[in-house]
Amino acid sequence: MAKEKGLTPQSQDFSEWYLEVIQRAELADYGPVRGTVVVRPYGYAIWENIQGVLDRMFKETGHQNAYFPLFIPMSFLKKEAEHVEGFSPELAVVTHAGGEELEEPLAVRPTSETVIGYMWSRWIKSYRDLPQLLNQWGNVVRWELRTRPFLRTSEFLWQEGHTAHATKEEAEEEVRRMLAIYAKLAREHAAIPVIEGLKTEKEKFAGAVYTTTIEAMMRDGKALQSGTSHYLGENFARAFGIKFQDKDLEVKYVHTTSWGLSWRFLGAIIMTHGDDRGLILPPRLAPIQVVLVPIYKEESRERVLEAAFGLKKALSARGLRVHLDDRDQYTPGYKFHEWELKGVPFRVELGPKDLEGGQAVLASRLGGKEPLPLAALPEVLPERLDAFHQALYQRALDFRESRTRKVDGYEALKEAVQEGFALAFHCGDKACERLIQEETTATVRCVPFEGEEGTGACVRCGRPGAYGKRVVFAKAY
């Protein structure tokens, strides 16, 4: 692979930069079937770290993992009217199997509310069977013609949580609890500042009463929906007959929720932090936090490598994810370039002169180099990784704030969404929202929970704002 040529600069063509960095950092490649991608080991390792963090938080909040079938009878999807309408255009359907035409076509799951709803209708009889707190790690298929690795692919990996509760209050509490977990993953692990909020009626999940979301700003000013949590009310319970006998002996429908986060989140990490030299990975999710690059000539080779192995051992013992790049066939300069492209937070350079002085050079992916005593590195690096995380978060937050504007007129909105987020009042009317999308390609990303209270006229039609606060408009992935 040609690594000599630099990446296309972000400012020149962000989209091209994104595709190039994914290929050259060996995160993913295109599959033979249009719309599919292959996730390569380095990309998959990041996904595994995301999984690890989420899985732990899901279990800490009482959820258990389960697995439901990939194939869903078409009749199931038709039971919830909005749901089938929302997903039909992108369904993949199996009509033949085992050399025969099937009696009933099978949808390859686009999401699992229906099949889980069906099973719950058999499992849930009494208030004693509630709540049901399930999560599934798996793949889903939504047919896409335009491929963009991690953002738009026919098949993608995700987790989908599904819960059933006796009351509306409990279900709504669950919706917010899980959104908070996604926000925590973003802020505390991925160093991504996110805005938590409510989707408008137009943008909500097909079949939901309402949808909550976390939205992040990418370095081209566009938004990326990074995780969603839905209150489904009794919609799926009525469609699938999920009823229970309550303590008061009355038979009631359950209230359900669902929430999902996909490998889109990897796209968010790439586009929130990366720069013209490549990826910058948040240390808490990076497969490699520190790379050791020994620098030697033939006569110093043994000495330098021995010290490098010793340092690797000491850092691993501190729980750090360390890689020693001892490949003989590449120059140190080549290695520096490659690990920068792959976004490794810290590089330790070890040369014969450094060793004589009992030190090494620590280089940060955010810039800056400093000599440090070798013996101090196991102590110092965990602190430096935390500081790196904070700096990365602050950098992303500063960027978002510098590209967010309060606007009151339509022309100002059109201008602001070229750069980033526009905070404006909206009347809440779907038709008005659709026109704004047609005319500006921007959509309402969310009604932010933390938004400052206030009223004003709709940015397009002048009718009174519907939400008691400004909403976030942006172009989005």
The reply to whether 413 sits near Zn ion by the rule CB under 5 A is no
Among 53, 461, 466, 476, binds Zn ion (CB under 5 A): 461
Closer of 84 and 458 to Zn ion (Cβ): 458
Q: For the chain, give me the number of helices (H) and strands (E)?
A: 14, 23
Q: What tokens does 458 get?
A: 């709709």
Closer CB to Zn ion, 460 or 475, in the complex? 460
Which whole-number Å values give the CA distances from 241 to 77, 120, 123, 254, 257, in the listed order? Answer: 14, 9, 11, 9, 16
Q: Which helix (H) or strand (E) holds 292?
A: strand 290-294
Residues 365, 343: contact at Cβ < 8 Å? yes
Rule CB under 5 A: choose which of 427, 442, 446, 447 binds Zn ion. 427
DSSP letter for 220, please.
T
Is the Cβ of residue 222 or residue 460 nearer to Zn ion in the bound state? 460
The span of 10-18, 131-139, 261-269, 427-435 binding Zn ion (CB under 5 A) equals 427-435
Nearer to Zn ion, 242 or 427 (CB): 427
Helix (H) or strand (E) holding 198: strand 195-198
As measured in angstroms, the least distance from the Cβ of 460 to Zn ion is 5
Residue range at the interface with Zn ion (CB under 5 A); choices 174-182, 205-213, 340-348, 424-432: 424-432
Q: How far is the CB of 458 from Zn ion (least distance, A)?
A: 3
CB 63 within 8 A of CB 69: no
- Can you tell me which residue has the tokens 């399930």? 134
Alpha helices in 331-460 (DSSP H): 332-341, 352-356, 377-402, 410-419, 430-440
192 binds Zn ion (CB under 5 A): no
**To the nearest whole angstrom, how small is the minimum distance from the Cβ of residue 469 to Zn ion?**
15
In the bound complex, what is the minimum distance in angstroms from residue 409's beta carbon to Zn ion?
13
Q: Provide Rg for the chain, Cα atoms.
A: 25
Q: Which helix (H) or strand (E) holds 375?
A: none
Coil vs helix vs strand at 238: helix
Nearer to Zn ion, 38 or 435 (CB): 435
Which lies closer to Zn ion via its Cβ, residue 311 or residue 432? 432
**Cβ 248 vs Cβ 222: under 8 Å:** no
Comparing CA positions, the residue from 119, 382, 347, 410 lying closest to residue 240 is 119
Rounded to a whole number of angstroms, the minimum distance from the CB of residue 153 to Zn ion is 34
Rule CB under 5 A: say whether 436 interacts with Zn ion. no
Site size for Zn ion (CB under 5 A): 5
Place of tokens 């905070």: 423
Name which of 413 and 432 has its Cβ closer to Zn ion.
Answer: 432
Distance of CA 9 to the CA centre of its chain: 23
CB under 5 A: which stretch of 38-46, 123-131, 221-229, 453-461 binds Zn ion?
453-461
Site membership for Zn ion, residue 74 (CB under 5 A):
no
Residues 88-147 that bind Zn ion (CB under 5 A): none
Among 157, 224, 458, 472, contact with Zn ion (rule: CB under 5 A) = 458
- Indicate whether 432 belongs to the interface with Zn ion (CB under 5 A): yes
Segment interacting with Zn ion, rule: CB under 5 A, options 151-159, 249-257, 368-376, 457-465 = 457-465
Stretch that binds Zn ion, among 23-31, 102-110, 309-317, 455-463 (CB under 5 A): 455-463
Nearest distance in Å: CB 208, Zn ion: 23
Which CB sits closer to Zn ion, 362 or 442?
A: 442
Please tell me the distance from the alpha carbon of residue 432 to that of residue 261, in angstroms, as a whole number: 29
Comparison of 284 and 460: residue with beta carbon closer to Zn ion: 460
Strands (E) in 43-174, as ranges, are 64-65, 71-73, 92-97, 100-108, 132-141, 155-165
User: Could you tell me if 186 and 194 are in contact, meaning their C-beta atoms sit under 8 angstroms apart?
Assistant: yes
To Zn ion, the closest distance from the beta carbon of 86 in angstroms equals: 23
Decide whether 204 or 264 has the Cβ nearer to Zn ion: 204
Furthest-apart CA pair in the chain: how many Å?
85
> Binding residues for Zn ion, per CB under 5 A?
427, 432, 458, 460-461
